Chains A and B, each alone.
Chain A
Amino acid sequence: MRLIINKVAIALSTFMAIIGLVFLGWILITLVSKGITSLTPYIFTHDLIDNGIRNLIWGQFVLSGLAAVIGIPIGIMAGIYLQEYGGHSKYSEFIRDLSDVMMSAPSIVIGTFIYAIIVVPMGHTNGWAGIAALCVMLLPIVVRTTDDMLSLVPIELREAGIAIGASKYHVTVNIILKAASSGIVTGLILAFARIVGETAPLLYTSGSSIYMETDLTQTFPSMTVSIYNLATMPDAKLVSLAWGAALVLTVVVLMLNILGRFMIKRSNN
């Protein structure tokens, strides 16, 4: 009897695992088979106004790229403060708790926040608002990663640095950051991968433009928002364009993740 129950339970667990994997495989197969048919050289060389996705790729890259350029240094510095200067003071514990909360705050709520402070004063959706929204998403992740990675660096390294007469700044930049660099870089790649695929905070901050746009004070093209808009269109051609864009987006996000994982592996060896 016990053996039968055992068999049944194991079969059940395997079955559940198969169900889950089937669903996930189904999604991927759908995505690839629908997306690949619309991936032609044409869509990479034309803007959305001419049924291409060039401006969307550009827009998503600029929005998330600039968000990373602005957010990462601030986040790393804040992480350094928490670990090297703040320690376990009430102030830094409070910042830690707060960034934990923000890390899992619904992304759409961050969109409403940026809408109130940037879009309303400027009067229309614009690129900077999109960047700010992604930046607010990114900051807590970077702070958390840096904080965690620095805490793994053994205290002896710090003591050794100070013992040979290096200033705290030198110790931090030349010894501790170096020791923690691979972990931090991995965290940054994964954080970047997360904001690249974000839609909700961009919906009414950057909006999405169908033209090539270089002025960040104007409504800016965004790939994810456009996918959302296109997929709900009644026109089959636009829907298939949305699938193509979705495939491109997914491939980029997965590549970033694989890159991050590869770095973890390399640093473990």
Chain B
Amino acid sequence: MEKLFQYLARASASFVLVILLSTVIILYINARPAIEEFGMHFIVDTRWAVDVPIEEVESSDKSSIPAVTTDSDTPQNHNISAIASDVKFSSINKQSAPLNIDDEFADMDEEVFVNEEFSTSLETNTKTVYGGAVPIIGSVFSIIIAMFFAVPVALGIAVFLSEIASERLSKPTSVAIELLAAIPSIIYGMWALFYFGPLISKYVGGHSVSLLVAGLVLGVMVIPFMAALSRDAINTTPDVLKESAYSMGATKFEVIKDIIFPYAKAGIVGSVIVSFGRGIGETMAVAFVIGGVFEFAGNITSPTNSIPVVLANNFSESSGMSMSVLYYLALILFVLSFTIIFLAKYFLLRRKAS
């Protein structure tokens, strides 16, 4: 029994290790064709599913190629997004197609699909180029917008809860904030699609699915999470420090600025980084409202794309190289989030040490 138990425990631990390691390895194996094909240039290449004559690619400098030879199906994709404008269509999965969906839409989906096959099978002297710049930039910008919105609000909430509100007010509010952090992200996405997006486009202008809306929704989503974490950090400030400052005649704001923030700085920065990591990998809240088109958002209110949304929308229709490209994107996303976690750990550990 003793031996068996130890053996089981050890086996479980090793199993966990194997699962987690194989995630990285499987991602890499599947992404390798794309990595070999496009290399690091993938990260800065803005073209997605664009057919380019082979000679051109091999002979000349890549950046000098004009992105005119657009694949015949890319504009179609855009058309659909335009038609479906608010109701983002391109995301509907194959298996759900028979469900009450307009025949017209279903036909279009097929048409796009056929076109893709058509162009890859017949035009043998071209190759399809994929670049990840649009979703990568989209991800980064949407999370930056989210942070601009979320950090002040979340810090406001954290300070309010720990320093300003009375015990009677702050207890229930704290619980409410923590519960809100647990709401599934798809709810945030739905709310944004039907209410927040239209509101933003009404007052700010532009589309109701856009980079701005996606960023703000991400912000709203991470607020409860960030507020709860930074409130915990603020609460670690010893009362003695605060009281001595008050006794010297400091105002509440001065205590917050000069005592609490310096003391809890590492924890607050850590909470921001963790929220950053959570936001950048977020799929569902963003998938509804970012638009899902492979175009740079020339304007902050234009639709664009982000890595998780590309994965969510295109995965079930991909194969071969287009699939491998998606794995490449997944790997990039994984590395991004890994780096962020590493940073967060570094900040939090430094707090423990000091």
Contacts and interface: CB of A to CB of B under 8 A. Distances in A.
A172 B8 CA distance: 13
A9 B159 CA distance: 11
Contacts of A31: 187, 191
B13 interface: yes
A163 interface: no
Contacts of A94: 17
B16 A107 contact: no
Given A31-B191, A109-B333, A199-B283, A104 B277 contact: yes
A209 B96 CA distance: 7
Contact of B184 (A76, A198, A229): A198
Interface stretch (B35-43, B44-52, B334-342): B334-342
Nearest to A226: B96
B197 to A, nearest CB: 12
Contacts of A246: 186-187, 190
A44 interface: no
Nearest to A17: B160
Contacts of A194: 182
Given A77-B8, A228-B186, A169 B2 contact: yes
B26 A113 contact: yes
A74 B283 contact: no
Nearest to B257: A9
A143 interface: yes
A81 B187 contact: no
Interface residues of A, number: 106
B82 to A, nearest CB: 14
A13 B284 contact: no
A198 B186 CA distance: 8
A34 B195 CA distance: 11
A77 B9 contact: yes
Most A Cβ at <10 Å: residue of B16, B91, B177, B284: B16
Interface in A127-178: 136, 139-140, 143, 167-169, 172-173
Interface string A235-247: 1001100110010
Contacts of A243: 190
Interface stretch (B65-73, B116-124, B309-317): B309-317
Interface string A176-220: 000000000000001001101111100110011110000000010
Contacts of B244: none
A57 interface: no
A24 B156 contact: no
A193 B98 CA distance: 31
Given A24-B180, A105-B334, A106-B283, A77 B12 contact: yes
B350 interface: no
Contacts of B194: 30, 34, 231, 239
B223 A107 contact: no
A10 interface: yes
A263 interface: no
Contacts, number: 304
B251 A200 contact: no
B156 A15 contact: yes
Contacts of A250: 183-184, 187
A261 interface: yes
B186 A30 contact: no
B308 A16 contact: no
Contacts of A231: 189-190, 193-194, 288
B1 A109 contact: no
B16 A242 contact: no
A19 interface: yes
Interface string A71-82: 001111110111
A10 to B, nearest CB: 6
B190 A17 contact: no
B330 A108 contact: yes
Nearest to A113: B23
Interface in B323-354: 326-327, 330, 333-334, 337-338, 340-341, 345
A85 B10 contact: yes
Contacts of A198: 184
B253 to A, nearest CB: 4
B157 interface: yes
B157 A172 contact: no
Interface of B: 1-2, 5-6, 8-13, 15-17, 19-23, 26-27, 29-30, 84, 87-89, 91-93, 95-96, 98-102, 105, 152-157, 159-161, 164-165, 173, 175-180, 182-191, 193-195, 220, 223-224, 227, 251-254, 256-257, 274, 277-278, 280-284, 287-288, 308, 311-312, 315-316, 326-327, 330, 333-334, 337-338, 340-341, 345
21 contacts: A13-B156, A19-B156, A27-B183, A27-B220, A30-B195, A48-B99, A49-B99, A78-B13, A81-B9, A98-B17, A102-B20, A108-B312, A136-B19, A139-B16, A168-B2, A169-B5, A207-B93, A228-B284, A232-B88, A246-B187, A250-B187
Given A168-B2, A242-B190, 5 more contacts: A20-B223, A24-B177, A112-B27, A200-B283, A210-B98
